[in-house]
Structure 1
Amino acid sequence: NAGGNPPPVTIHTWLERFNKQKPQSFGKATAPVDVENWISHMEKIFDVMGCEDA
């Protein structure tokens, strides 16, 4: 590519990278802290992947 930018990442590639981070599934929470911990876990994965807040 002439601009020197890497090609855009496809959703397939992004999902492969995401799944390699071993995200925890969320089924139910017995306490609010369970939800907070899951959200924190997911936010760390998004940070590692370079996702920005919208």
Structure 2
Amino acid sequence: MNDTPQRSRAVFSTEDFGLMKEAIGEHIKKIADDPRSAKFSNLYHRLGRLG
């Protein structure tokens, strides 16, 4: 019996991060006057560091 935990598989591919960043970038433009745009902008930049 193998007690070593199995490595989890990635949920998103590298290409997915680029697509999400592009979609969020477009969304930020549409909600520029919304206070939530700052949160989306932060997410956009975090995604840029990943992929």
For the aligned pair, the TM-score class normalised by the smaller chain equals 0.3 to 0.5
TM-score, normalising length from structure 2? 0.37
Over alpha carbons, which structure has the higher Rg?
2
* The structure with more helix, counted as a fraction of residues: 2
TM-score, normalising length from structure 1? 0.35
